[in-house]
Amino acid sequence: GSEMCIRDSFFDYYGKNEIDFSVRRTTSSVGGLNFQMIACHVKDDQVVEDISHSIAIDEVAFSVIERVLLERKPYAHWGETLITFDAFDLKVIELKYFIQDIKYDCVIDVCAKELKANKEKYEKPIVYMVNEIVEFILSCKELGYDLIKISGI
C-alpha cells in the first residue's frame, strides 16, 4: 500500500533502499553527499584543520540532526560551519536530549516520510549515530581542539 509508495519515493530520490546512519572515521577530505566534522586548532587567528581527526556522515542521515547543530535557517546548503569550544558541552547536551525524544523528522521531505514510516527500523541507528557524534565532540574537547568545522554540501 502507501508504505511501498513511500519507500519507492525515497529510493527514486536517493537510489538507496534505506538511510545510512553510519559514522565513518576519516583521515582525508570527503566529498560527495556527505557531511564531515573536522577537529581544528586556532593558531595566529587562523583555523588549522586536523583532517586526521574527523568523521563523515551521509547527508541524509545528517539532515536528521542538523537542526540541533545549526542555529540559523535555512538549513540547506551548509558550506562550512564552526562549532566553538564554548559550544561543545551545549551541543553534547542538545544531542543527548534529541535521542531521548527522537522527532523522526528531517529537512528533506522524502527522508522525513521514510523515517516516519519506519521508526522502529531507524531508532537504533539514529541513537548510534548521535552517540558517535557525541563521542567525537568529547574527544575533540579532551584532546584540546578549539573548534569543530562541519563541512557539508
**In a 10 Å sphere around its CB, with 0-12 CB exposed, 13-18 middle and 19+ buried, how is residue 99 labelled?**
middle
Write the DSSP symbol of residue 60.
H
pLDDT of residue 76: 53
What type of residue is 68? V
Assign residue 44 a region: left if phi > 0, alpha if psi is -120 to 50, beta otherwise?
left
pLDDT digits (tens, 9 = 90+) for 43-84: 999 999 999 999 999 988 888 888 787 765 555 556 788 888
pTM to 2 decimal places:
0.84
pLDDT digits (tens, 9 = 90+) for 80-139: 888 888 888 888 999 999 888 887 777 777 788 888 888 899 999 999 999 999 999 999
pLDDT digits (tens, 9 = 90+) for 30-49: 877 888 999 999 999 999 99
Confidence of residue 10 (pLDDT cuts 50, 70, 90): low
Q: Which three cell numbers stand for residue 111?
A: 527522508
**Whole-Å CA distances, 121 to 1, 15, 92, 112, 124:** 18, 19, 24, 14, 7
| Residue 15 three-state SS | coil
Question: What's the length of the chain?
Answer: 153
DSSP β-bridge partners for residue 149: 38, 82
